[in-house]
């Protein structure tokens, strides 16, 4: 007997995932061509505006109005370098957006007032994320700096900053858990650290045993991570190797390491992991992927069987190199089973990253090499079963 086909809820990405429209987008040159996490200056605000770059100009678009035209917020001057990162605030800073340039300038802008509220300079900004009344910035050398965005004086901001250094390489990604208790960060050397906001100087000792200490370690650079919104103990991370492969890891930050998970904690893939998102509505996880690993063609040419009188009978036939089936695609997994739901090609070029809407229904894929932000529906609205009417419950048969 063949196993029954899996069924998916109406609001699952299996039924909902589809293209909506595209937004013109471009990234100013920054970093090396082999950068594991190329610049992807785009973010989605709590006030439902997508903020993104067009070269050194920062634009925003109201996503509640499909007819709305993107408007310019500001222009980065040449003395400040190129636009490198864009990060919108969380619920406490719903209308604030942080900009970072290649020369280390940080600017905070008010999206409602359309004015800059603060700016300062530091060296080598490589990641940004907002927490509860906190802007956390990672740098090239592995240091984290915590700033209070409510302070409206640049000098006082620097005076009050808290700095910690435990990473030994460039910090590529970071995210505060929704409750503000934990911060997760990942670096170019594959190390993931989790920080407790109450004791921010020393990271938690979680993960697998490595040289008598617990450690969360990837093979490739950590290019994506996210917290599970409905099982807050789970942190999911993804990496990108120089060979073009990627791995998704699932970590239980509350575990002392003695328990064994009944679900998969590691998924190996033949394409880089460039972003990760949980649905707030259904137990699904979406991952985006780069061009992937290209397998070389056979070294020995294959000669086809052809008629004797064929003039090309002696011409060897070379097989095209094998490309990843998830190349430049979005893959949806059930969680925590990590069972495959669907794979959808998004672009012909690398998906540098993606951002999820505040309500969890839409996603924007950043594809700099195609000069496009691709807006897709991803998860639908949950509809509770309709209760039977009084007539249906009391009907006379």
Q: Looking at per-residue confidence, does 326 or 313 come out higher? A: 326
Q: Terminal CA-to-CA distance of the chain, rounded, Å? A: 39
Identify the pLDDT of residue 32.
52
| pLDDT, tens digit (0-9, with 9 covering 90-100), for 189-222 | 999 999 999 888 899 999 988 777 889 999 999 9
Exposure b/e, 11-49, CB count within 10 A at least 16 = b: bbbbebbeeeeebebebbebeeeeebbbbbbbbbbbbbb
**CA separation for the pair 60, 99 (Å, rounded):** 13
Query: Which tops the pLDDT comparison, 51 or 293?
Result: 51
Contact 98, 120 (CB under 8 A): no
- pLDDT at 338 exceeding the cut of 50: yes
Output the furthest CA–CA distance in the chain (Å, rounded).
85
DSSP string for residues in 136-180: EEEETTSEEEEE-TT---HHHHHHH-EEEE--SS-EEEEEE-TTS
**Residue range 134-177, pLDDT digits in tens:** 999 999 999 999 998 888 777 777 767 788 999 999 999 999 99
pLDDT of residue 309: 47
Cα-flanking dihedrals φ and ψ of residue 94, to 5°?
-60, -30
CB 161 within 8 A of CB 139: no
When pLDDT is cut at 50, 70 and 90, the band that residue 302 belongs to is low
pLDDT band at 61 (very low <50, low <70, confident <90, very high): very high
**Does pLDDT of 261 surpass 80?**
no
Cα separation of 349 and 372, whole Å?
10
Q: What gap in Å lies between CA 338 and CA 283, rounded to an integer?
A: 10
Instruction: Of 220, 131, 231, 125, give the one whose Cα is nearest residue 184.
Output: 131
CA atoms of 191 and 199, how far apart (whole Å): 20
């Amino acid at each position: 007997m063949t196993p029954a086909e899996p069924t998916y809820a109406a609001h699952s990405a299996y039924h909902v995932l589809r293209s909506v429209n595209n937004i013109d987008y471009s990234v100013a040159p920054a970093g090396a061509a082999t950068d594991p996490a190329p610049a992807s200056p785009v973010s989605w605000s709590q006030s439902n505006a997508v903020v993104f770059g067009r070269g050194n100009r920062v634009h925003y678009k109201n996503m509640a109005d499909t007819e709305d035209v993107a408007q310019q917020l500001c222009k980065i001057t040449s003395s400040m370098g190129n636009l490198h990162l864009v990060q919108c605030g969380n619920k406490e800073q719903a209308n604030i957006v942080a900009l970072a340039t290649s020369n280390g300038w940080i600017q905070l802008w008010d999206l409602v007032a359309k004015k800059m509220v603060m700016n300062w300079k530091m060296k080598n900004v490589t990641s940004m994320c907002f927490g509860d009344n906190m802007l956390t910035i990672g740098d090239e050398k592995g240091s984290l700096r915590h700033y209070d965005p409510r302070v409206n004086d640049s000098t006082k901001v620097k005076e009050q900053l808290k700095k910690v250094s435990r990473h030994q390489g460039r910090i590529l990604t970071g995210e505060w858990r929704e409750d503000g208790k934990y911060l997760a960060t990942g670096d170019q050397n594959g190390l993931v650290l989790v920080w407790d906001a109450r004791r921010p100087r020393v990271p938690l000792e979680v993960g697998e045993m490595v040289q008598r200490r617990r450690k969360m370690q990837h093979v490739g650079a950590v290019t994506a991570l996210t917290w599970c919104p409905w099982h807050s103990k789970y942190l999911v991370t993804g990496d990108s190797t120089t060979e073009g492969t990627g791995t998704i890891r699932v970590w239980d930050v509350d575990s002392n390491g003695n328990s064994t998970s009944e679900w998969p904690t590691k998924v190996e893939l033949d394409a880089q992991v460039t972003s990760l998102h949980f649905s707030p509505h259904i137990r699904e996880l979406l991952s985006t992927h780069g061009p992937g690993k290209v397998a070389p063609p056979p070294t020995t040419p294959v000669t086809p069987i052809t008629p004797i009188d064929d003039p090309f009978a002696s011409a060897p036939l070379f097989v095209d190199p094998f490309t990843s089936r998830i190349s430049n695609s979005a893959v949806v997994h059930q969680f925590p089973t990590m069972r495959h739901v669907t794979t959808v090609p998004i672009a012909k070029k690398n998906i540098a990253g993606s951002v999820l809407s505040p309500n969890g229904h839409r996603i924007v894929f950043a594809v700099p090499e195609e000069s496009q932000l691709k807006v897709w529906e991803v998860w639908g609205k949950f509809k509770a079963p309709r209760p039977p009417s009084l007539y249906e419950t009391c009907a006379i048969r």
